[in-house]
Structure 1
Amino acid sequence: MSDITFPDAKEGVINCRSNPMGGVRVKVRLVPDTQIGAVLKLNWQGYTDQAGEQPIFDTETSFKHTITSEDISEGVVITVGDWSKHIKPIKDGSARASYAINGGEVGDALVQVRLLNAAGQSCDEV
C-alpha cells in the first residue's frame, strides 16, 4: 500500500463527488522513526493524461509542513486548495503528489482526475 493516499477519491478517482472545489486532500503516512521537527515538503502536479506524463503548465504547487508526534501516528493531511489554478485545469487526466522529508525524496502517488461531465462541463459549471 502506498504511503500517499487521496482520502476524497471515489474508487481511486478524484471527481465532482469528491468536492474538488473545496480542495483535494493528500494524506501521507509516515514511518514510525520519522524525526519530529523534520520538514515534509509535498509537491502536486496536474497532467493532461491518465499516466502522469504530460504536465499541465502552472498546476504545480508545493506545501511545507513540520512533523509532529501526532503526524507520525495519524499521518499528515495537506489540502491542495486552489481549485481554479491547481485542480480545475486537469479536467480529465491525473495528478501526482510526491513528498520529501528534509530534502530527501521519499515517495509519490498518481491519482486519476475526472472533472468533466458528458457535456464537457466542469464540476463548478453544473
Structure 2
Amino acid sequence: MMIELTAATFPSADRFNYINCTSEPSPVKAVPVRIEIQPDMVSGDVIELQTRGFSDSDGTQPVPGTQTSFVHVLGSIDARKFVELIIRPYATAIKPIKSGSLDAKYSVKRKGDLIGTSKRALVKLDLKMPGGGTCPEGQ
C-alpha cells in the first residue's frame, strides 16, 4: 500500500519562498522543515527526510557535501498536525550554499516497508549580506 504524501514546507521562508539572514529563525540557527502528518500515517511510522543544497535558485547545481538525512519515528500523533525537523549542521548543510536553494523530500516506512515518498520541496536560500560576507553566526 502506497500513501499520498504532501511536499514538505519551509516555515521560515517568506512569501516569495526565500530564506535569508532576516528570516525567523536565522538560517544560522536553524532551517526548519515541516512535514504534515497525513491521515494514513500511524504511530511507529518512520519518516526519513533528505535535503541537499544547490548553487542555483532552481535546484539543478548540487553543492557537494550538503546532503543530509534525518530519521524521525512518529510517536503519538493524536493532536499533532505536523513534525518539524531542523536541517543541520549549519557549517556543512547550509553555509556552503551561500546563495542558491535547498530541497527537501521525505519517505515514510512502516515495519521496514516503503509506504510513500513525497514530492520535492525547494526553497531559495541567500546567506549573503548587502555589505558583503554572510549571515552573522555569533548571535
Superposition TM-score, scaled by structure 1 size: 0.89
More helix by share: 1
Find the counterpart in structure 2 of residue 9 from structure 1: 13
Q: Which runs of 5+ in 2 are unaligned?
A: 1-5
Flag the structure with larger Rg.
Answer: 2
1:32–1:72 Cα contact (<8 Å) kept: no
- Mapped to 1, the partners of 2:11 and 2:137 lie a distance apart of 24
Contact 2:28/2:137 (8 A) holds in 1:
no
1:124 and 1:6 map into 2 onto residues whose CA distance is: 21
Residue correspondences, number: 125
> How far apart in 2 are the matches of 1:58 and 1:113?
16
List gaps (5 residues or longer) in structure 1.
none
Work out the CA distance in 1 between the residues paired with 2:31 and 2:78: 19
CA contact (8 A) 1:10 1:17 kept: no
1:58-95 deviation line (CA, Å, top 9, x unaligned) = 00001000112338732010011311111111111000
| Distance change (3 Å), C-alpha of 1:108 and 1:69 | farther
Alignment partner, residue 122 of structure 1: 134
| Contact persistence 1:34–1:72 (CA under 8 A) | no
Q: TM-score, normalised by structure 2?
A: 0.81
**For residues 87 and 124 of structure 1, what CA distance do their matches in structure 2 show?**
13
Segments ≥4 residues shifted beyond 6 Å: none
The 1:117/1:64 distance shift into structure 2, 3 A limit, reads same
Matching residue of 2:76: 69
SS of the aligned residue for 1:70 comes to: coil
